[in-house]
Structure 1
Amino acid sequence: MIAARTPAWWRTTLALCLGSFLVFINLYAPQPLLPALREAFGVSTLAISLVMSVATLSLAASLLVFGPLSDAIGRGAIMRLTLLASGLLSLALSLAPTFEALLVLRALQGFVLGGLPAVAIAWMGDEFERPALLSAVGLYIGANSLGGIGGRVVGGAVAEIGGASASFLAVGAMTLVGLALFWKLLPPARAFTPRRFALGGALADLGAHLVTPKLLGAYLLGGLNFMIFINQYSYLTFRLAEAPFGLGARLLGLIFLTYLGGTLGSSLSGRLAARWSQPACMMLGILILAGGTAMTLAGSLGWIIIGLSLNAFGFFLAHSMASSWVGRHARCARGSASALYLVFYYGGASLGGLWLEPFWRAAGWLGVALASWLVLGATLALAAWLWCGERREAQGAALAPASSPQTSSSRSTRPQADL
């Protein structure tokens, strides 16, 4: 087993963080390009939002494939080969002749992008000692957000110079170069033991999670919050590309630096959870997300950026609480319980365009804000429901010890023969 802070730990953690970074630059690089792609292909805002939606939906589906598959055939090969396919598909996207071809390639890319997120933490669990695992996972999650920011910034900056095709080429080339380093750094697995895949058992575990109210509430909360958060950015690119802002692809990419507010939110989540319950922190995050959305209604770009930063802080606070809630309350098969949370998470992201588009057409950005508040009202109710359930459990646990002295007293009065 690999111990924390050893040369082997640093090398392996660097490899997995690099792999995570490459996954998310590929997934999110097209987002600042949506206004330009809409003009290039002559399609509607709803149609062009499918560039993001089909990728996140196929990624969500792939999590249920690669996770169980890796238990049978190993994890290293899945990570390497899916990263290779992701880079090649980015190069192919630069040559997509039609909008339909673009969507097919993005769906394929989304599926293979799920290979590394589905198995990376399981790889760490196989190979790392527990303290080493906890330290590495924190860095790995940080690389997720950096990849999301980097993909949008690089995608927008390159597109400003050479157009969307150049952006896809640049991301594809970065992926292949990074893959070569990842391939060299990641050591062979030594503690992995293949297990026979049992479809019936896996489906039974998933079914058990879905009928557990505590887990289902967190799944819905995470998926619906992400549906609003990530798709707000997509529609905001359309708003900021038009008058009076008129931002180009490079500046639209820089808007995603507001994601750093989410880095702060997730880093403070542990401290907040030490003071308040997890559902209370979820409610706080949702309220901050709703407040940040209100600020984006301002006509000033500065206030919009502040609002987006608040949105990121609130969303990632609620997300970190919901995901850890799942790990805490899953009574069996915690791996599949966490994977199912990600299925709802990315599945929600893929459906956001369908929900927001009618509001966007009817009332522009004000319509998007109203649609967001409707969904956030539902997730706030879910968090409040989880909070009430946790309080009831705590009260029940507090009452249980009170009956213990009576029970022991009654037992002490029994005849010795009854003992």
Structure 2
Amino acid sequence: MIELGNPAFRRATLALCLGSFMIFANVYLTQPLLPMLAEDFGVSPLLAGWSFTVTTLMLGLSLLVYGPLSDALGRRSIMLITMTGAALTTLALALVREYQALLLLRALQGIFLGGLPAVAIAYMGDEFSKRAVAVAVGLYISGNSLGGIGGRLIGGFVGEWLGWSNAFLVMSGISLVCLLAFALLLPPSQHFSARPVRPRQMLADLLHHLRNPVLLTVYIIGGLNFFIFINQYSYITFVLSDAPYGLSPALLGLLFLTYLTGTIGSTIAGRVALHLGQPRCMALGILILMTGSLVTLLPGLPAIVLGLLINSFGFFFAHSSASSWVSHNAGRAKASASSLYLVFYYLGASSGGFYLHPFWSAAGWSGVVAGSLLVFGLTLGCALWLARQSSPALAAS
């Protein structure tokens, strides 16, 4: 097994972090471009948001396939094939001129982008020792947040200077570099045991996980937290691109540097969980999320930025704890269990904008925060229930 701190640990975690960066940079590339896309294609803010929503929706649905498929075909090959498809689709997006074509390609891209998130944590569960997994998952998720930052910065700056199509072109080159480094660095699987592809068994595994109340609770926590967190960013871009702020796409891209605190939160979550237990870490992260959301209501741009910094730390702290908890505690078909967590996670991302839209229409950003707190209150209750259900040994696992 790969142990914490040895050379194989460093190579594997670097590869997975680079892969994670590539995936999530592609996912979030369009988010600072939403006002530009709405103007260039003459579509509404809600329809412009579909350039992000359709990707996360298809990514989430694809996880139902990749997780069980990797139980049969192996983790590494699935990640390499789908990352290649994602890089090629990004290049194709640079050439589109109609919004319908952009949406179709973003949907196809979402299918490819699901490969690595579906099986990366299962790969760690196979190859890493239990203590190493808790730390490696935190580092991997820090790659998620760095990818989110990088994609938005590329989209914002390149989009403002050279146009949105060139943002996709630049991203395709970066994706190719990440893909090559991933292929060279990631160690081959040594402890993977293949299982035949049995669709009936795949369905049985998924139903088994859904019938497990503690796993289902973690799925709900992860899905609903992301349901709110990521869509807060979509709505805040319209707040800050309008008067009195009037921020350009490049400056909106800089706003996502607030994800840096998420990198810190996910990196330390594994170590904190060794002492507090992962369910309590989830609850703590949600409380931090609620605090950050309230801070954004204070007047002025600095307060909004501070609130988003707090939100990002809390979200990724909770998400890292939840992801690692699923990998540790799934009794069988670990890839299926981790994939199902991410199905809830990305379906939450793709639907949260619809939930928040009536709050936005009724009361603007204040309404978005009110709607957010309602959901965070529910996930906080779920995390506290989970902490009570867990034995001391399980809670600290």
Query: Which residue identity is paired with 1:182?
Result: F
Q: Distance in 2 between matches of 1:121 and 1:284?
A: 23
Residues 138 and 311 from structure 1, CA distance in 2 versus in 1: closer, same or farther, beyond 3 angstroms?
A: closer
Q: TM-score, normalised by structure 1?
A: 0.85
Q: Distance in 2 between matches of 1:75 and 1:81?
A: 10
Look up the match of 2:395: none
Q: Distance in 1 between matches of 2:68 and 2:274?
A: 34
Task: Determine if the alignment matches structure 1 residue 216 to structure 2 residue 216.
Answer: yes
8 Å Cα contact 1:221-1:382 kept in structure 2:
yes
For residues 323-402 of structure 1, the aligned pairs below 5 Å read: 323-390=323-390
Q: Distance in 2 between matches of 1:224 and 1:173?
A: 34
For residues 2-401 of structure 1, the aligned pairs below 5 Å read: 10-126=10-126, 136-186=136-186, 188-189=188-189, 192-270=192-270, 272-273=272-273, 276=276, 278-390=278-390
User: For structure 1, which segment, 56-65 or 262-271, has the greater mean C-alpha deviation from structure 2 after superposition?
Assistant: 262-271
Query: Which residue identity is paired with 2:150?
Result: G
Query: Which residue identity is paired with 1:62?
Result: S
Q: Distance in 1 between matches of 2:190 and 2:330?
A: 28
Query: Could you give the per-residue CA deviations for residues 249-268 of structure 1, whole angstroms, max 9, x where no partner exists?
Result: 11111111111222233344
User: For structure 1, which segment, 359-368 or 278-287, has the greater mean C-alpha deviation from structure 2 after superposition?
Assistant: 278-287
Residues 279 and 76 from structure 1, CA distance in 2 versus in 1: closer, same or farther, beyond 3 angstroms?
A: closer
1:132 to partner: Cα distance: 6.3
Corresponding residue SS for 2:82? helix
Query: Could you give the per-residue CA deviations for residues 329-383 of structure 1, whole angstroms, max 9, x where no partner exists?
Result: 4333333222211111111111011111122122211121121122122222323
Residues 190 and 281 from structure 1, CA distance in 2 versus in 1: closer, same or farther, beyond 3 angstroms?
A: closer
Of structures 1 and 2, the larger Rg is shown by 1
8 Å Cα contact 2:209-2:215 kept in structure 1:
yes
Structure 2 residue runs of 5 or longer lacking an equivalent are 393-397
Corresponding residue SS for 2:69? helix
Residues 216 and 178 from structure 1, CA distance in 2 versus in 1: closer, same or farther, beyond 3 angstroms?
A: closer
Residues 304 and 22 from structure 1, CA distance in 2 versus in 1: closer, same or farther, beyond 3 angstroms?
A: same
Residues 42 and 299 from structure 1, CA distance in 2 versus in 1: closer, same or farther, beyond 3 angstroms?
A: farther
Query: Which residue identity is paired with 2:309?
Result: S
Look up the match of 1:409: none
Q: Distance in 2 between matches of 1:134 and 1:224?
A: 23
Residues 42 and 74 from structure 1, CA distance in 2 versus in 1: closer, same or farther, beyond 3 angstroms?
A: same
Residues 206 and 14 from structure 1, CA distance in 2 versus in 1: closer, same or farther, beyond 3 angstroms?
A: same
1:23 to partner: Cα distance: 1.0
Residues 130 and 384 from structure 1, CA distance in 2 versus in 1: closer, same or farther, beyond 3 angstroms?
A: closer
Q: TM-score, normalised by structure 2?
A: 0.89
Q: Distance in 2 between matches of 1:236 and 1:104?
A: 26
8 Å Cα contact 2:134-2:271 kept in structure 1:
no
Q: Distance in 1 between matches of 2:328 and 2:370?
A: 33
Aligned residues: CA RMSD = 2.6
Q: Distance in 1 between matches of 2:80 and 2:264?
A: 31
1:269 to partner: Cα distance: 3.2
8 Å Cα contact 1:231-1:352 kept in structure 2:
yes
1:306 to partner: Cα distance: 0.6
8 Å Cα contact 2:90-2:168 kept in structure 1:
yes
Q: Distance in 2 between matches of 1:136 and 1:325?
A: 13
8 Å Cα contact 1:60-1:343 kept in structure 2:
yes
Query: Which residue identity is paired with 1:203?
Result: L
1:108 to partner: Cα distance: 0.7
Structure 1 residue runs of 5 or longer lacking an equivalent are 395-419
8 Å Cα contact 1:214-1:329 kept in structure 2:
no
Q: Distance in 2 between matches of 1:105 and 1:222?
A: 27
Query: Could you give the per-residue CA deviations for residues 73-103 of structure 1, whole angstroms, max 9, x where no partner exists?
Result: 3333322222221112112222222222111
Q: Distance in 2 between matches of 1:331 and 1:74?
A: 19
Residues 180 and 167 from structure 1, CA distance in 2 versus in 1: closer, same or farther, beyond 3 angstroms?
A: same
Corresponding residue SS for 1:151? helix
Q: Distance in 2 between matches of 1:284 and 1:75?
A: 32
1:40 to partner: Cα distance: 1.2
Query: Which residue identity is paired with 1:292?
Result: G
Query: Could you give the per-residue CA deviations for residues 33-86 of structure 1, whole angstroms, max 9, x where no partner exists?
Result: 111111111111211111111111111111221122223333333222222211
* Structure possessing the higher relative contact order (Cα contacts under 8 Å, 6 or more residues apart): 2
1:16 to partner: Cα distance: 2.9
Q: Distance in 1 between matches of 2:57 and 2:193?
A: 31
Look up the match of 1:403: none
Q: Distance in 2 between matches of 1:231 and 1:37?
A: 17
**Number of matched residues?**
392
